[in-house]
Amino acid sequence: MKKIAFIGGTGAENSVLLKDVTEHIIETPYGEAKYEAGFFEGREIIHLSRHGAHHTIPPHKINYRANMFALKMLDVAAVISTTAVGSLNPDYKPGELVLLDQFIDMTKAREGTFYDGERYGVAHLDMSHPYCASLREAILAAGRKEGITLHPQGTYICTEGPRFETPAEIKAYRMWGADVVGMTNVPECQLAREAEICYASISMVTNFAAGITKEELSHQEVLDCMAENSRNMYRIVTDVFETYDVEKDCHCRHAAEAFGGFHV
């Protein structure tokens, strides 16, 4: 049986939607990964807290490759992830949700590919549609059903962090067309594609980005906003857990076909 995984970002560290949760550590060729396995209405779901159970792993130190490889080892075929983001777009306001459809990579020093010339050789995968179309459709349908404001498109710019951006950086990123800024969706999204796993990401706007607001930024406001608004995000995720047919084949699951496929 193929599985769905939930990768929880800031403010979504706990597997609140699951029952009979057990904790696990799994060894991968890229290091170890921690995850929880639990049940939602009888279906086994994997919960992986990106920053660790107590938010102790900063964005640039997350072992993205071990995490994604572990999910592949566990027969995960679809990942719904959440991220806290700052908004560069005046129409995307704190407390609102954005379903990402593009990203811009401004990270600097992360192991971001399985195709590094070693275990899996070299491959260049298409990223015209970085996020899974069918998973995005399921999330959009869930948002409509629940009557929740979910912006259907958003370009995410991923910065290295862990510091927030300068207003000058944000001004430049806005000119490039970024709607939201965060520190984790790259390389997570591209590793999912390389591992032939369907992947979509729901971003929660927790603040206006530096310079868009006159206020200085704080991590506390990010946490407070997540705590106040994560209910909507969980309602959507619950609905997707209920309705998404993870066994149904998808384009994403053949992304590396021209290079022999991705096998653990």
Binding mask 33-52 for ligand HPA (x = CB under 6 A): --------------------
Binding mask 193-212 for ligand HPA (x = CB under 6 A): -------------xx-x---
Nearest to 21 by CA among 54, 46, 4: 46
CA-to-CA distance for 103 and 241, rounded, in angstroms?
A: 25
By beta-carbon proximity to ligand HPA, the closer residue of 149 and 218 is 218
Among 69, 182, 186, 192, binds ligand HPA (CB under 6 A): 182
**Residue 245: CB minimum distance to ligand HPA, A:** 32
Tell whether residue 9 is a contact of ligand HPA (CB under 6 A).
Answer: no
Tell whether residue 97 is a contact of ligand HPA (CB under 6 A).
Answer: no
C-beta atoms surrounding 31 within 10 Å: 13
Binding mask 221-260 for ligand HPA (x = CB under 6 A): -x--------------------------------------
Q: Is 115 in contact with 194 (CB distance < 8 Å)?
A: yes
Tell whether residue 7 is a contact of ligand HPA (CB under 6 A).
Answer: no
Binding-site size, ligand HPA (CB under 6 A)? 14
CA-to-CA distance for 248 and 261, rounded, in angstroms?
A: 18
Tell whether residue 11 is a contact of ligand HPA (CB under 6 A).
Answer: no
Tell whether residue 150 is a contact of ligand HPA (CB under 6 A).
Answer: no
By beta-carbon proximity to ligand HPA, the closer residue of 191 and 222 is 222
Q: Which helix (H) or strand (E) holds 168?
A: helix 167-176
Distances (CA, A) of 198 to 79, 189, 253: 6, 9, 7
Strands 97-99 and 150-151: parallel
By beta-carbon proximity to ligand HPA, the closer residue of 3 and 55 is 55
Distances (CA, A) of 132 to 20, 102, 203: 29, 11, 15
Q: Is 10 in contact with 223 (CB distance < 8 Å)?
A: yes
Where does this chain bind ligand HPA (CB under 6 A)?
84-86, 159, 164-165, 181-183, 206-207, 209, 217, 222
